[in-house]
Amino acid sequence: MPGIAGIVNPLADISNQCSHICPVSDAVRTRGPVGTSLYISPHCIMACRIANESMPGESPCVTKIKQHDKEYIIVMDGTIYNYRELRSQLESYGCKFQGNSFSELVGYGYAIWNSACFMKLNGLFALAIWVVDDKKLVLARDHIGAKPLYYSFLRSTMVFASEIGGVTSHPLFKAEVGVEGLSELICLSPRNTPGNAVIKGIHELRPAHYLTFSPDGTVISRYWRIEEREHTDSAEETARQIRELITESISMQTTADYPVCGLLSGGLYSSLITAIICKNKHALFNHVYNTWSVEYEKSSKLTSMSFQSDSDIPWIRWICRELGTRHHYILLSTEDLLEALFEASEARGSPGTGDYDSALMLLFREISKEFPTIISGDCSDELFGYGIRSADHSATGRRRFPWVSNLAERISVFSTEIVEWIKPYEYIDKCYEEALFEYPRFALNATGLKKDFEAQWFSLYWNLPCILGRLDRTSMSYNLQARVPLCDYRLIEYLWNVPIDMKRYNGVDRGILIKSVQDLLPREILERKKRAFPRPIDPLYGEKIRNALKESVYDTESALRYLLDIRTLESMMRQQDACKRQTSYQQLFIWLIQLNGFFKSHNIRVL
């Protein structure tokens, strides 16, 4: 899964910018640490990082193909799960494959089917195709947006890269954040408005979209969207269809050709994935499935918070014993987390979810030493409507995003001038209305269910990209491929039209999923209450966070200090210190540390 980058101008000779591709490519080097392959022509310069030449489908260099008297140059980050099926179809059209790379498949697919090929691809991908004869660049991103792709225009020249840092590393790019970008950071982070990359002039190609850049101009189009269908299946038929879709997705994403391992918490999603994989012994590398989880030093001696009271360990041990997996515990200290906070923020390209990001990244660092690919159960709540009617995760009671309840606390640490400038509540309302404008209107669903479907829409539109982004950025920091079989776009299509009451079969969250896999796991695991990803509950950790924050905001070269209300922030730090326990303030402090790191790493100027 190599990182990609490019500099393109279909109307002007950019040969003099050849040296500019080096810093752009270097900025995405974690996605291909082995080296770089280049394509250089008068109008297009593209780079493809070299990741792992031994992996199936990996292209060790920029791919070139010819079809119908046209030449195509392809660079791609990602994996195509239905490679064999599509290759067979393309060969029937007369395509002559020279190797087994995904990028070659994509090139022939575009040559034969044009933009319709993107809909046919089942996988995670971000790609660029340069059609030499037409002087046309095509960028495309997978259905769910698992693989990132950013671009910007420097006058008439486009710069694109797998990560924001690739674009900001271009020698002629000046990183600036204006009122809209600052509003995004303060009001929405770690989420972002789809397509908005915060830094002025940088855009994120949205999931399920493709862009063409040619002498005729720039056009962005959508190749896939959720469609309205009346759900007529019974609960029995729905459960059976869900089981088939999940099993097929897992089968497509696991192969005995190379090692695949998985995350395991003993919760419903990771356990059912593990159970299905272990039933197909022929698909296991060396006939065993390896699983991984995180624990913290001395965690058993610390007071647990309510949402972390149910230890994963007994559940993990049961799965390992019954299914024969080989489990690995990664032990982390608070020092490990603190040291990794900035690196995690840099990996995400923007402030994220604090120590959750750093713990995940450190876990992936250890996994990458032994395995090239990890299977995750992430994003499943967004599909199965988990908690969709709870007070904390619902759009039913107000015309505002369900997750902005802590906005007042966050904006309180910023100066009055900044708050008046960004107008946070007005910005949130605007984003909410824009999100609703794209919401598919359902004539077939009863009016009373409208708010339930809106809540689902926000989960898919906002939460899903945030979770996928975290997973991809933290794993690719160590060139580890992360796969999400429960987030197959076909499963999304099917589940979207399943009414919430059926998803909550028997009045239980995820009830229809439980029904579909009830023969695989014991009732205790099927009904186990969802537990958050483990975080350290260490009083000394809070002190270390406060000290790190003070170091950040008292630095005279810090861009962040000039945005804050220092007195309010100091008061919050004193309150947390006095109560000697972890509070909601701690996550705010961590977010501020990462925000400062974001400004610093991209050399950002706030306008």
pLDDT digits (tens, 9 = 90+) for 252-262: 998 756 789 99
pLDDT digits (tens, 9 = 90+) for 205-238: 999 999 999 999 999 999 999 888 889 999 999 9
Residue 537's pLDDT band, with cuts at 50, 70 and 90, is: low
Instruction: Using the 3D structure, point to which of 174, 192, 222 is the last residue of a domain.
Output: 222
Q: Is the pLDDT of residue 405 over 80?
A: no
**Who has greater pLDDT, 573 or 88?**
88
Q: Give the whole-angstrom CA distance, residue 44 versus residue 130.
A: 8
Q: What is the pLDDT of residue 441?
A: 62
Q: Give the whole-angstrom CA distance, residue 126 versus residue 472.
A: 12
Q: Give the whole-angstrom CA distance, residue 203 versus residue 196.
A: 6
Q: Give the whole-angstrom CA distance, residue 115 versus residue 592.
A: 42
pLDDT digits (tens, 9 = 90+) for 181-208: 999 999 999 999 999 999 999 999 999 9
> How remote is the C-alpha of 347 from its chain's centroid?
12
Residues of the domain holding 557: 539-606
How much is the mean pLDDT over the chain?
A: 88
Q: What is the pLDDT of residue 2?
A: 82
Q: Which residues contact 239 (CB under 8 A, 6 or more apart)?
A: 505, 512, 515, 516
Q: Is the pLDDT of residue 388 over 60?
A: no
Q: What is the pLDDT of residue 391?
A: 38
Q: What is the pLDDT of residue 363?
A: 96
Domain assignment of residue 579, yes or no? yes
Q: Give the whole-angstrom CA distance, residue 311 versus residue 290.
A: 20
Tokens of 282: 């022929």
Q: Are residues 244 and 322 in the same domain?
A: yes
pLDDT > 90 in the chain, percent: 61
Residue 361's nearest CA partner among 377, 379, 384, 337 is 337
Q: What is the pLDDT of residue 394?
A: 45
**How crowded is residue 560: how many other Cβ atoms within 10 Å of its Cβ?**
20
Q: Are residues 247 and 170 in the same domain?
A: no
What's the number of domains the chain is made of?
Answer: 3
Domain assignment of residue 227, yes or no? no
Residue 283's pLDDT band, with cuts at 50, 70 and 90, is: low
Q: Is the pLDDT of residue 382 over 70?
A: yes
Distances from the Cα of 164 to the Cα of 9, 198, 589, angstroms? 20, 10, 24
pLDDT digits (tens, 9 = 90+) for 296-317: 886 444 444 433 446 888 999 9
Q: Are residues 555 and 504 in the same domain?
A: no
Q: What is the pLDDT of residue 158?
A: 98
Half-sphere exposure of 347 (CA within 13 A, CB side): 29
Q: Are residues 395 and 518 in the same domain?
A: yes
Tokens of 295: 């624990």
Q: Are residues 566 and 496 in the same domain?
A: no
Are 273 and 336 in contact by the 8 Å Cβ rule? The answer is no
Residue 392's pLDDT band, with cuts at 50, 70 and 90, is: very low
Q: Are residues 543 and 481 in the same domain?
A: no
Tokens of 6: 């490019």
Domain assignment of residue 584, yes or no? yes
Instruction: Using the 3D structure, point to which of 475, 492, 526 is the last residue of a domain.
Output: 526
What's the average model confidence in pLDDT over 385-390? Answer: 60
pLDDT digits (tens, 9 = 90+) for 27-41: 888 888 888 889 999
Q: Are residues 112 and 166 in the same domain?
A: yes
Q: What is the pLDDT of residue 127?
A: 98
**Who has greater pLDDT, 561 or 111?**
111
Domain assignment of residue 436, yes or no? yes
Q: Are residues 346 and 486 in the same domain?
A: yes
Q: What is the pLDDT of residue 52?
A: 67
In the three-class reduction of DSSP (H, G, I as helix; E, B as strand; rest coil), residue 485 is classed as: helix
The kind and range of the H/E element at 227 are none
Domain assignment of residue 230, yes or no? no
pLDDT digits (tens, 9 = 90+) for 436-494: 888 776 544 444 446 667 778 888 888 888 899 999 999 999 999 999 999 999 999 99
**Phi, psi of 105, deg, nearest 5:** -60, -45
Q: What is the pLDDT of residue 301?
A: 43
Q: Are residues 23 and 84 in the same domain?
A: yes
Q: Give the whole-angstrom CA distance, residue 191 versus residue 135.
A: 35
Domain assignment of residue 531, yes or no? no
Q: Are residues 208 and 297 in the same domain?
A: no
Q: What is the pLDDT of residue 448?
A: 45
Q: Are residues 71 and 136 in the same domain?
A: yes
Domain assignment of residue 370, yes or no? yes
Q: What CATH number corresponds to the domain at position 47?
A: 3.60.20.10
Q: Give the whole-angstrom CA distance, residue 344 versus residue 470.
A: 9
Q: What is the pLDDT of residue 304?
A: 40
Most confident of 437-451, 511-525, 564-578: 511-525
Instruction: Using the 3D structure, point to which of 222, 243, 273 is the last residue of a domain.
Output: 222
Q: Which residues contact 72 (CB under 8 A, 6 or more apart)?
A: 64, 65, 66, 107, 110, 111, 129, 130, 131, 132
Domain assignment of residue 533, yes or no? no
Q: What is the pLDDT of residue 580?
A: 58
End-to-end Cα distance, the chain: 36
Are 492 and 460 in contact by the 8 Å Cβ rule? The answer is yes
The kind and range of the H/E element at 8 are strand 4-8
Q: Is the pLDDT of residue 56 over 60?
A: no
Q: Are residues 159 and 248 in the same domain?
A: no
